[in-house]
Chain A
Amino acid sequence: MTEGMKSEITGKEIWTVEEGEKRSIGVIHIVLTALLIGIGFVVGAFGSISFPLGFGVNFFWTGIVVQQVGAIWFGAWGVIAGAIFPFFSNAIAGTPFYVSIAYLPANALQAFLPAWVFRKFKLDPRLKSGKDYLYLFLAMIVSSILGAMWSVLVVLRGFDLLTTDSVPLFIWGWFGGNVVAGVVFNFIMLKVLSPVVIKTTAFVKKWWA
């Protein structure tokens, strides 16, 4: 009976802290942040080396899955990891140090937005309804647009690395590289692993715990 009830838990219940339920920041959250940075480092570097457009912009950036799915599951810890790991993966793939640092706000935003949407609208990370899919897709689109705008218009133009005429190519490259990889991986990862993750102590209902 208990198992039956647990399996019927709704999206709203997933994000609600029950009466008497104590949630606090623990060592596991610090560990998870480090592990997410580690996974993102490897997975992101794969995308950066395999499908480069230049200056850390890729046609197919697999790191997006760690960035967005990690933040949906682990809140601010996932956002922190999602903002930091591209710095490492870009560095290994040959992006200049200060260009990588300047990408930080874009990466933080790309991680934050889907996590915020899931918490704000009480969506089910197991993707049980069309609304969950739609909102995730929209969050991916909007976050990638904003990320692309910052990275190309502020960072790459700011460092004087691009001409005005080549800006659209890089905006499309960043946006498309993130959205395509996100569509391929985010839905599958959430669908397959969320039922397990939401039952772990590491799962973050609010932002920090």
Chain B
Amino acid sequence: MNKTLLGYVPDESPIYAVHPFVKLFFLLIVSLFPMFVTAPDWNIGLMVVIIIFMWISRVNMSTLKIYIPVAISMGTIIFLSYTVMGGTHPEFELLARVAGVNFYWERIRDALVVYFRVLPMIFTMVFFLSTSRERDVIVAMRSIKVPFVVTYVFAMSLRSAGMVLEDFHIVRQAEQARGFDPAGKSLPYKIRQYVMYMIPLFALSLRRSEEFTNALVARGYAFTGEISKVKRADYILTHYSYKYFDYIFIAIIGLAFVALLVFRYGFGYFQVDQSWLIGLLREAVS
């Protein structure tokens, strides 16, 4: 199994046949798609495609459970934002009035449109995080010639996030061993406890920064001055090369985006009034 940024993917996953840059390109371009598409049908279609990609990549779908509360809370907030806090609009069609709150058709429709525009963006991000390892991100950045120092900081940040999590568990265990137990306690208690985590976490990181620095200096690393101008060998990139299908994927993603823009602005496609799903809902509530 390979540890990705979000979970684990088997070594044999076909996703590793693809160059890491293709995954980054997918994230950067496909995340833009929902911004130009208002019809929920197409955005749901995009989500289905991403789920199929996850399935093909053999992503462990159980790791995605953490996003269920996010999806529910986001949906609830969008719905409340568009209905309960949506204000009074005589120009809209009133469907129902419950406890003084007006539920307008246009507001419910807009809430659905927004929700189904946000979800595919999240799916795209989750797909990237669940199929990319730290090394993939570094390779993708180096392959598009991102400066060494930026890539290095990025890589070190990802590593340090893992270390901070580890430190967090150690600090928590140390405090539990001293009788700190958050179970069943009030929110202020938990917040106070959180302060007690933060101080050692910061202190540990400060100490670690000196250890890191000494290790880097001892290995001859420098980010400024003459030494930093020496061209570095990209050993990691020698393990990755573009294959013919990488170019095909890049072309497909790029062309799909161009086609989307042409159909959207040239022919007026992907509009909410063309949505089959919204039409169905309209009939159901009228």
Interface residues of A (CB under 8 A from B): 24-28, 30-39, 41-43, 49, 52-55, 60, 62, 65, 69, 84-85, 88, 91-99, 159-166, 169, 184-185, 188-189, 192-193, 196-197, 200, 202
Contacts and interface: CB of A to CB of B under 8 A. Distances in A.
Interface of B: 5-6, 27-28, 31-32, 35, 66-67, 70-71, 73-74, 77-78, 80-82, 85-87, 107, 110, 114, 118, 121-122, 124-126, 129, 149, 152-154, 156-165, 168, 191, 194-195, 198-199, 201-203, 205-206, 208-210, 212-213, 216-217, 221-224
A43 B107 CA distance: 36
B203 A30 contact: no
A98 B31 contact: yes
B66 A49 contact: yes
Given A96-B121, A97-B124, A39 B81 contact: no
Nearest to B28: A97
Given A41-B157, A54-B73, A62-B194, A160 B199 contact: no
Nearest to A165: B87
Contacts of B158: 38
B153 A94 contact: no
A27 B223 contact: yes
Nearest to A100: B125
A194 to B, nearest CB: 11
A114 B15 CA distance: 44
B203 to A, nearest CB: 7
A115 B28 CA distance: 32
B70 A27 contact: no
Nearest to B30: A97
A185 B210 contact: no
Contacts of A192: 199
Nearest to A62: B194
B198 to A, nearest CB: 6
B35 A161 contact: no
A176 to B, nearest CB: 14
Contacts of A185: 195, 198
Given A95-B122, A159-B35, A161-B78, 11 more contacts: A27-B213, A28-B209, A30-B152, A38-B164, A41-B161, A42-B165, A88-B161, A99-B121, A161-B118, A163-B81, A163-B86
B161 A38 contact: yes
Contacts of A161: 78, 114, 118
Residue in A32, A62, A166, A169 whose Cβ sees the most chain B Cβ within 10 Å: A166
A189 B203 CA distance: 10
A28 B31 contact: no
Given A42-B165, A188-B195, A202-B209, A165 B85 contact: yes
Contacts of B27: 97
B153 A30 contact: yes
Nearest to B222: A27
Contacts of A27: 213, 216-217, 221-223
A152 B196 CA distance: 32
A35 B35 contact: no
Contacts of A24: 224
Residue in B82, B87, B153, B203 whose Cβ sees the most chain A Cβ within 10 Å: B153
Residue in A35, A65, A166 whose Cβ sees the most chain B Cβ within 10 Å: A35
A85 B124 CA distance: 20
B162 to A, nearest CB: 8
